[in-house]
Structure 1
Amino acid sequence: MQAIIESFAYIGTPEGIAALITLVVLEIVLGIDNLIFISILTNKLPEHQQDRARKIGISMALIMRLALLATISFIVQLTEPLFTLFGHGFSWRDIILIAGGLFLVWKATKEIHHTVDPEDPKENMGKIGTLTMGTAIAQILILDLVFSIDSIITAVGMTDVLAIMFIAVITAVIVMLIAANPLSRFIAANPTVVMLALAFLLMIGMTLIADGFGFHVPKGYIYAAMAFSALVEGLNMLARRKRQRAKAAAEAEAPSAPAQ
């Protein structure tokens, strides 16, 4: 009890406030990966199930992260090597990251294939209504586990104050809940953004695999590349809308054909 009181007292100090703000921002950024996956996956469900699936998926992410925070001593042990292969010591964290990365690469590749060839009779996963609620939740939970472990280990590396970790994680998940529906609607309304988001997931999956094998890619590089790509796509969307408005205006001004 005394430790908890001291933790909350520390938050009121300048150092505590700086640590909290930094970790909140970091957790929100780390949650973008999870949110993109949830948005793309739930958009494949029937419309009346999409919002419920998003809320269930994000709520389970919160429960999973809080449960992991409650077992920090166990989480820290996940980074201890279990065996050595090719000169690299693999821990449970590495194994989970590799498995999650492979799943993400498989899922993103499958969705990209459907987007490129929607008429392939062997590929029906991309059609709305072909994915069940249970399958969607199961896939969301798999990635929730991977992203949650990565998120909590990052939090542990940033601070040893439990109260700051809890506040940062809860804040990040609340932001995810607020942003989930607008992001899903935006992705559904802009088909080209779907391909960009799937490319992000493919890149994130490869990054997770590389991290699991001991090749750490600074996340700043990943998010900088994502931000630059999103900026370019935003400019393309603005250009397309201007061309569409110009075309509509030209058609409205054109004289109508004389009646025969």
Structure 2
Amino acid sequence: MEWLAGYFDFVSSPEAWVALATLVVLEIVLGIDNLIFISILTNKLPPENQASARRIGIGAALILRLALLATISFIVQLTAPVFTLFGHGFSWRDLILIAGGLFLVWKATKEIHHSVDPVDGKENMMGKVTMTVGAAIVQILMLDLVFSIDSIITAVGMTDEIAIMFIAVISAVTVMLIAAEPLSRFIAANPTVVMLALAFLLMIGMTLIADGMGFHVPKGYIYAAMGFSALVEGLNMLARRKRAHDRELAAGKTLE
């Protein structure tokens, strides 16, 4: 058991606890992208399948992250350039991020188009169910892989303690599991939030592509923009509720 105890030597180090707290918060923030995609996609499934699909998607995210942590030496090698194009060395990580970003851009653009042009004969995220559980799980797994690799590489850059990485990843995925149902219900009940979330996915997809191409965009800028947009949408929702309440009061006075 001595080898196991060696993984928890960090408990006596205040710096390690600070790193753990920071990494947990960072992993939770990074998981927001994954959770938004899972919530929007599963809302397209039949109601009886939505909860199980979300659990499978989030469970797969946890398994992928833990599996990647178990092969940490391999993950580190993913950042080594495998070929050079236009003066930029592309690694496997870059190629995975670009592929994931293109998929997100395609998916978000497709759903936005269907939302604003429903007469094209196709259904949007909140329309009639056209997606099978299997198709949803496959798409979730594809994005799980992209977000998992980005998450683990971020963890590797934050600390050398494997135990801290495991605790942070498990904590983040647990929060995702707890937040999945409320977030999905909120998105389903507010169609304008669906459009905002799709815009988030479009922005995240472009960010992944830029990162893979060597143009790093600080995550703080992305999440600050998302937070500001969410705040504005929250104010719009409050304004709509106030107008609806005023109309109800006016209608009541008219009947009297």
Same fold (TM over 0.5): yes
Q: Provide the residue aligned with 1:210 in structure 2.
A: 210
Letter in 1 for 2:200: F
Pair 1:85-2:85 in alignment: yes
Q: Provide the residue aligned with 1:124 in structure 2.
A: 123
> Do the aligned partners of 2:94 and 2:212 also contact (CA within 8 Å) in 1?
yes
Which entry has the higher C-alpha Rg, 1 or 2?
1
Which is worse superposed, 18-27 or 246-255? 246-255
Per-residue CA deviations over 1:129-154 (Å, capped at 9, x if unaligned) read 21000000000000000000000000
> Do the aligned partners of 1:61 and 1:144 also contact (CA within 8 Å) in 2?
yes
Letter in 1 for 2:21: I
Q: Provide the residue aligned with 2:56 in structure 1.
A: 56
TM-score, length of structure 1 as denominator length: 0.96
1:125 offset after TM fit, Å? 5.5
Distance in 2 (alpha carbons) for counterparts of 1:120 and 1:78: 42
- Give the 3-state SS of the residue equivalent to 1:197 in structure 2: helix
> Do the aligned partners of 1:93 and 1:212 also contact (CA within 8 Å) in 2?
yes
Distance in 2 (alpha carbons) for counterparts of 1:124 and 1:188: 15
> Do the aligned partners of 2:68 and 2:149 also contact (CA within 8 Å) in 1?
yes
Distance in 1 (alpha carbons) for counterparts of 2:11 and 2:147: 26
1:3 offset after TM fit, Å? 5.0
Identical aligned residues as a percent: 76
Pair 1:237-2:237 in alignment: yes
Per-residue CA deviations over 1:25-74 (Å, capped at 9, x if unaligned) read 00000000000000000000000000000000000000000000000000
Q: Which 5+ residue runs of structure 2 have no aligned equivalent?
A: none
Q: Provide the residue aligned with 2:134 in structure 1.
A: 134
Q: Provide the residue aligned with 1:167 in structure 2.
A: 167
- Give the 3-state SS of the residue equivalent to 1:89 in structure 2: strand
Distance in 1 (alpha carbons) for counterparts of 2:143 and 2:10: 33
Cα separation, partners in 2 of 1:128 and 1:172, compared to 1, 3 Å: farther
1:119 offset after TM fit, Å? 1.9
Q: Provide the residue aligned with 1:224 in structure 2.
A: 224
Distance in 2 (alpha carbons) for counterparts of 1:118 and 1:129: 14
Distance in 2 (alpha carbons) for counterparts of 1:125 and 1:92: 33
Q: Provide the residue aligned with 1:38 in structure 2.
A: 38
Aligned residues, how many? 255
Per-residue CA deviations over 1:169-226 (Å, capped at 9, x if unaligned) read 0000000000001000000000100000000000000000000000000000000000
